[in-house]
A and B are shown apart, each in its own frame.
Chain A
């Protein structure tokens, strides 16, 4: 007996209100100095004014490399920390300032799956306890037998043997542990699940199992999914729409088809160009766009367009003085760029673009 949310929602239902709406979200981590009284001398601008929305039932992917702010964004949406400024609306309610009992109530509606299945499960608790903890915290299924049955039901749904209720995390493999994490997130039948790099730490053949599981659960329970990853092939497979982040900003936001068929932001192009293609013939054809240098420090990001220091198309006097806004480009992609990639440039650097979309 499974509980499905009001009908299994289609993957991208454009007619309804967004489930999650983020506007101008900012999170700065202050850097302090001082002897007795600490004063702020600067800040790590982890997330610096991003806006996006997620419609019910869809999967939004957030991609970027280290330091781009995607994990911070996840934690802000989950309200694991409070934003410096900006608005987060979940299910119509403003949650950026939520606290206490409101926050707890909120947690029933949104859950998170973490990256490292080895360290995100408490080794001293049985998996039955771990998966059942959400019920305990929110006072659900208080009768002893009922809770165990509810937990076992979920274990079955995610592909774990319900008889392993009393085993400890270390007795399971990485893939199974990630299933436990998924089960725990699913326990309260949340509306939104944020998956922070859920398969990065797993072997290739197990990754596919977990990805398929997430897709199946999404269809069956109508869950909206925000999928954070650095692996562009995985994100393409799982997500309806994708946001590309760089140094705390969203530089491109497009549907999966649009993004992979014709990326418009040069950074997206570089990312796609850099992804190793599992085909030696295509690899040989690729003119790799190798980005020079390293990502600048988020404490001191470049002025205006943050990517201009490494961008092959940057124009001095424009890109370093005028910050580009995220607006529609050729093909439908939203990109924050003054000189987006042309189709010819895309074809040259991203040979897979011809096949994609």
Chain B
């Protein structure tokens, strides 16, 4: 197992190197705002622009710039400096991580609590109206784009402009957990549910189809033949097997959300990595974009590894 982990970490390092190369390369190739011009302000003097170029090292060849970037990253964990406002990228991003984490984890809890039970119920009640209703609702939930859902829910429920019931905090009211726990919670409820909707639906459908397949397995027949109660058969024998692939995709989903749930954060004005990335893209602020991509990649790789290791504990047949 240890060997497996070490091997995975080594591959991950290589992967991150390749990813940062690709992002760097793409930005280098694509036409975008000249960062030196951005810094130089209005009506820039050409000499000033050239000086800025030199200072930022933008006059050097591509591979030199890239090498410098990697060097700084590995030795100092320095992601470079924002073109826009000269702030270290690392600080910009790390400041935003708690918000993204709050959003991601909270939504994850919500979608698991809603999706899994609905999936189990649908599987057990296969063929009945209950199942059809749930799966139909799931389809609708998956189809609704998250930004649309976000805007609609704000329109309906936000306590400043909501037309249906003014019960939830409006966008922009996010505060970090340690500042004001109550407000933190209240500001996140609506975003959690909005973000969780599509996931809950997907997990419900996935859980249902897994459980339906598992309940057809021979060992379920054995469990019943042993005289176990139906509840025990479904949960201890059925769900226990059916939930394992869900662990895998859960890791992936969390990892992706960690890169920033761009749409949700933007609609609800939550200062997370996603929104930062969105703004940076608009302004061609390469270091920030690169930083968010790398953090996102690291998150996905980390969660993937955790989930794969977890899998070995869940399924004793898996051995590394």
User: Inter-chain contact count A-B, CB under 8 Å?
Assistant: 8
- Bound form: Cα–Cα A34–B10 in Å: 13
Which of B1-44 touch A at CB < 8 Å? Answer: 3, 6-7, 10
The 8 A CB mask of A15-36 against B (1 = contact, 0 = none) is: 0000000000000000001111
Residues of B within 8 A of A34 (CB): 3
Residues of A within 8 A of B7 (CB): 35-36
Chain A at the B interface: SS class = loop
Chain A residue at minimal CB-CB distance from B7: A35
Which of A127-181 touch B at CB < 8 Å? Answer: none
B15, chain A: closest CB distance, angstroms? 15
- Bound form: Cα–Cα A201–B10 in Å: 46
B204, chain A: closest CB distance, angstroms? 30
Residues of A within 8 A of B3 (CB): 33-35
B297, chain A: closest CB distance, angstroms? 22
Size category of the binding interface on chain A: under 10
- Bound form: Cα–Cα A33–B7 in Å: 12
Residues of B within 8 A of A35 (CB): 3, 6-7, 10
Chain A residue at minimal CB-CB distance from B4: A35
The 8 A CB mask of B245-274 against A (1 = contact, 0 = none) is: 000000000000000000000000000000
- Bound form: Cα–Cα A354–B10 in Å: 67
Residues of A within 8 A of B10 (CB): 35-36
- Bound form: Cα–Cα A36–B3 in Å: 9
- Bound form: Cα–Cα A150–B46 in Å: 81
- Bound form: Cα–Cα A33–B2 in Å: 12
- Bound form: Cα–Cα A36–B10 in Å: 9
Which of A31-76 touch B at CB < 8 Å? Answer: 33-36
A58, chain B: closest CB distance, angstroms? 41
A314, chain B: closest CB distance, angstroms? 34
Chain B residue at minimal CB-CB distance from A33: B3
- Bound form: Cα–Cα A167–B6 in Å: 52
Chain A residue at minimal CB-CB distance from B3: A35
Chain A residue at minimal CB-CB distance from B6: A35
Which of B147-199 touch A at CB < 8 Å? Answer: none
- Bound form: Cα–Cα A35–B6 in Å: 7
B286, chain A: closest CB distance, angstroms? 33
B316, chain A: closest CB distance, angstroms? 19
B14, chain A: closest CB distance, angstroms? 11
The 8 A CB mask of B108-146 against A (1 = contact, 0 = none) is: 000000000000000000000000000000000000000
Residues of B within 8 A of A36 (CB): 7, 10
Chain A residue at minimal CB-CB distance from B10: A36
- Bound form: Cα–Cα A346–B3 in Å: 53
The 8 A CB mask of A280-312 against B (1 = contact, 0 = none) is: 000000000000000000000000000000000
- Bound form: Cα–Cα A34–B6 in Å: 10
Residues of B within 8 A of A33 (CB): 3
- Bound form: Cα–Cα A36–B7 in Å: 7
A248, chain B: closest CB distance, angstroms? 24
B252, chain A: closest CB distance, angstroms? 25
A39, chain B: closest CB distance, angstroms? 12
B226, chain A: closest CB distance, angstroms? 26
- Bound form: Cα–Cα A201–B293 in Å: 54
Chain B residue at minimal CB-CB distance from A34: B3
B75, chain A: closest CB distance, angstroms? 24
Chain A residue at minimal CB-CB distance from B11: A36
- Bound form: Cα–Cα A34–B3 in Å: 7
A60, chain B: closest CB distance, angstroms? 36
- Bound form: Cα–Cα A35–B10 in Å: 9
Q: A34-B3, A36-B10 are in contact. List 6 more A-B contacts (CB 8 A).
A: A33-B3, A35-B3, A35-B6, A35-B7, A35-B10, A36-B7
8 contacts between A and B (CB under 8 A): A33-B3, A34-B3, A35-B3, A35-B6, A35-B7, A35-B10, A36-B7, A36-B10
* Chain B interface (Cβ < 8 Å from any Cβ of A): 3, 6-7, 10
Q: Which 3 A-B pairs have the closest CB atoms?
A: A35-B7, A35-B3, A35-B6
